[in-house]
Chain A
């Protein structure tokens, strides 16, 4: 996965333009687990949304699994996401009216997988994340850590090679955070999936192979090392 000189502007009015991303160049090796850290408002979520084909960059190029998503016909972007990308958001991004297995089966619904096969797959995935006993629980009946494990199982539903997580442990305590990270690491090692994890938590960042630091829409360093570019433009 590669990003080259990505820019994203939010134009609220002609006079007021927010530069959420200011030319991010990033390359992530297949099978690696990369953390993206940075202060609030630095553009982490924006970067994730662009890489996840949820939004289009104002400028710059993205290559995902050998494809340029901007060249895909607009209608097929949903299918591309469905097949190749798994998303993990904060814990309240489960659908409250659906049971654990139904939440996990949601991407399969959009992949046009039959209900019986979807149910089987969801059950296997929930067993894999240690929730075999919680198939028919609603999110409201699960703890925060359990909910997040459901979300992880859901990200794996269509067996995507790339998983994007936006603060997956944002609302979890440190013990649960540790458990979730152990799970993500295991999934990364066992299946060779690529993980990109946006986080505020240094522990989470430490558990990853690499850590990219973002500030004001720019990559300013890696693995805690501030690059020359970052040093040249200190915070105002």
Chain B
């Protein structure tokens, strides 16, 4: 009955209530949409953490402004890393964009080609390997295969046994990975050698080197024999340039009993031209990213909610002024100050609750529509998690109640006789 009365009270001034509720709806809508973005991001980061913290990650030293895949190190680096004490297994990897400099704006993680020896990576990560939803893992030494990430498989409608074209080459789909909620979902895993070939083709500089080497090899031997020794040596060097064993990154495993942090430090000291991330560093940088993102979203949502709170304060104060005599009457009939306080807090909370429901509802509707639309374009950006929905409604209700405190106190503290005399 008390709740009914509060509802009817809200309907007394329908326009005013609608405006106030709208204020909250906007705030909670913003919170839901931004929160869903943050939740998706958090999920990715959390999964990334699981994925990246079982290895020491080594990347080719970054050249400013260079796109992904244009920093690489030669095969000798892998050997150098292997010689560092404490290092167990080194799995060289080639990470490159699936499409050359994307023309359209991509949101989220862009699709990547990941050339690697999956078996070796599984060993460096101590079993934290890719799980397949369908198909099989590649056989050792096999070429021309591709294991497709879950989202990518959806986008490209790739199925086991079919052919997937990557950068102009055809690959046979042998497996589809399970969803990881992070990077691998949009990756195409191929044999390291295949990726290295793609890498060599993709870089104008590497292409040039390769062509030169081929041209040099095409020179008939009897010609070479006739050349001066100095030039002969140069040509030989060119023909053996290491365009084949390149890698952009390496996944490094450590020997049992070794501290990965210490091993990472040793690699950093011993090997030049690479960037090394230990599991802890990876975790820290991932967490930093989440924290900043969450703060940003929290901040913007707070501003929206403060506006909503002010609207509630205003509305409830007006309601109390309008109902002064009613409050005096209730006091005469035996209502304690706490009763009056409770009734007005309830009403304010109800405004918040209704605003919260509508805000979360519209936010979730908006986000899932956007997700459906984006899924066809390959990026699911939002995750409207149950805890986010709950937070939205609880926060809005709490906000309403909090904003109702001042007007409700005013109501509860009204002088009874004064209020009754009110015309």
- Enumerate chain A residues within 8 angstroms of B417, measured Cβ to Cβ: 49, 54-55
Q: How far is the CB of B334 from chain A (nearest CB, A)?
A: 3
What is the CA–CA distance of A95 and B329 in the complex, to the nearest angstrom? 9
Q: CB of B291 within 8 A of chain A?
A: no
Chain A residues with CB under 8 Å of B330's CB are: 106, 110
Interface set, chain B 104-157, CB cutoff 8 A to A: none
Contacts of B336 in A (CB 8 A): 75, 78-79, 110
Known: A54-B420, A55-B416. Is A110-B329 also a contact (CB below 8 A)? no
Instruction: Among A75, A82, A83, A97, find the residue whose CB has the most chain B CB atoms closer than 10 A.
Output: A97
Q: Verify if B255 is at the interface (C-beta below 8 Å from A).
A: no
- Size class of the contact patch on chain B: 20 to 34
B66 to chain A, nearest CB (A): 70
Chain B: interface secondary structure?
Answer: helix
**Contact residue among B2, B325, B332, B335 (Cβ-Cβ distance under 8 Å from A54):** B332
- Cα–Cα distance between A107 and B2 once the two chains are bound (Å): 13
CB B170 to nearest CB in A, in angstroms, measures 74
Contact B331 A97 (CB under 8 A): no
Q: Which residues of B contact A54 (CB under 8 A)?
A: 331-332, 416-417, 420
Decide if A78 touches B335 in the complex (CB within 8 Å): yes
Chain A residues contacting B416 (CB-CB under 8 Å) are: 54-55
Question: Which residues from A are CB-within-8-Å of B420?
Answer: 49, 54, 89
Contacts of A115 in B (CB 8 A): 1
Complex CA–CA separation, A97 to B329 (angstroms)? 14
Check B5–A102 contact: CB distance below 8 A. yes
The closest CB in chain B to the CB of A157 belongs to B333
> A109 at the A/B interface (Cβ < 8 Å)?
yes
Which residues of chain A are within 8 angstroms of B8 by Cβ–Cβ distance?
Answer: 97-98
Q: Is the CB of B334 within 8 A of A107?
A: yes
> Shortest CB–CB separation between residue A16 and chain B, in angstroms?
17
CB-nearest residue of chain A to B11: A97
Q: Does B326 contact A (CB under 8 A)?
A: yes
Residues of B within 8 A of A79 (CB): 334, 336
Are the CB atoms of A97 and B5 closer together than 8 Å? Answer: yes
Q: Which residue of B lies closest to A82 (CB)?
A: B334
Which residues of B lie under 8 Å from residue A107 when comparing CB positions? 333-334
What 1/0 mask marks residues of chain B from 310 to 325 whose CB sits below 8 Å from any chain A CB?
0000000000000001
Q: Does B339 contact A (CB under 8 A)?
A: yes
Cβ of A81 and Cβ of B5 under 8 Å apart? no
Say yes or no: is B272 at the interface (Cβ < 8 Å to chain A). no
Q: Is A105's CB within 8 Å of the partner chain B?
A: yes
Is the beta-carbon distance between A109 and B1 smaller than 8 angstroms?
yes
With known contacts A89-B420, A110-B339, A52–B332 Cβ distance under 8 A: yes
Question: How many inter-chain residue pairs (CB < 8 Å) link A and B?
Answer: 61
Within 8 A of B (CB), among A170-199: none
Contacting B9 at CB < 8 Å: which of A81, A97, A109, A110? A97
- Return chain B residues, CB-CB under 8 Å to A52: 332
What bracket does the count of chain A residues touching chain B fall in? 20 to 34
Q: Are B329 and A89 closer than 8 Å at their CB atoms?
A: yes
B residues 1-45 near A (Cβ < 8 Å) are 1-2, 5, 8-9, 12
> Using Cβ atoms and an 8 Å threshold, which residues of chain B touch A118?
1
Q: Cα distance A79–B331 when bound, in Å?
A: 10
Q: How far is the CA of A93 from the CA of B324 in the complex (A)?
A: 11
* B333, A81: Cβ atoms closer than 8 Å: yes
Contacting residues, chain A, for B333 (C-beta < 8 A) = 81-82, 87, 106-107, 110, 154
A45 to B9, CA, bound (A): 29
Contact partner of B332 among A75, A87, A95, A111, CB < 8 A? A87
Within 284-336 of B, Cβ neighbours of A (below 8 Å) are at 325-326, 329-336
- Complex interface residues of chain A between 92 and 140 (CB less than 8 A to chain B): 93, 95, 97-98, 102, 105-107, 109-111, 115, 118
User: Which residues of the partner chain A approach B332 to less than 8 Å between Cβ atoms?
Assistant: 52, 54, 81, 87
Complexed CA–CA distance, A106 and B339 (Å):
12
A68 CB to closest chain B CB (Å) equals 19
The reply to whether B5 and A110 contact each other, CB–CB distance below 8 Å, is: no
**Cα–Cα distance between A154 and B333 once the two chains are bound (Å):** 9
Residue of A nearest to B10 (CB): A97
Q: Report B-chain residues with C-beta under 8 Å of the C-beta of A208.
A: none
Does A158 sit within 8 A of B, measured CB to CB? Answer: yes
A235 to B113, CA, bound (A): 105
Report yes or no: B334 in contact with A93, Cβ–Cβ below 8 A. Answer: no
Q: How far is the CA of A107 from the CA of B335 in the complex (A)?
A: 8
| A102: chain B residues within 8 A (beta carbon) | 1, 5
Residue among A45, A110, A115 with the most chain B CB within 10 A?
A110
| A110 with B12: CB separation less than 8 A | no
Given A54-B332, A82-B334, A109 and B2 contact (CB-CB distance below 8 Å): yes
Contact with B along A39-70 (1 / 0, CB 8 A): 00000010001001011000000000000000
Q: Which residues of A contact B9 (CB under 8 A)?
A: 97
B423 to chain A minimum Cβ distance, whole angstroms, is: 10
Residue of A75, A105, A110 near B334 (CB, 8 A) is A110
Q: Which residues of B contact A55 (CB under 8 A)?
A: 416-417
Contact A93–B325 (Cβ < 8 Å) = yes
| Cβ contacts under 8 Å, B12 to chain A | 97
By beta carbon, the residue of chain A nearest B9 is A97
| Contact pick for A158, options B2, B325, B331, B334, CB 8 Å | B334
Between A and B, 7 residue pairs with Cβ closer than 8 Å are A54-B332, A78-B336, A81-B332, A82-B333, A87-B332, A98-B5, A154-B333
A interface list, Cβ under 8 A from B? 45, 49, 52, 54-55, 75, 78-79, 81-83, 87, 89, 93, 95, 97-98, 102, 105-107, 109-111, 115, 118, 154, 158
The 8 closest A-B pairs by CB, nearest first: A82-B334, A110-B334, A97-B8, A78-B336, A107-B333, A55-B417, A54-B416, A110-B335
Residues on B lying within 8 angstroms of A by beta carbon are 1-2, 5, 8-9, 12, 325-326, 329-337, 339, 416-417, 420-421
Q: A78-B335, A81-B334 are in contact. List 4 more A-B contacts (CB 8 A).
A: A45-B421, A54-B417, A79-B336, A102-B1
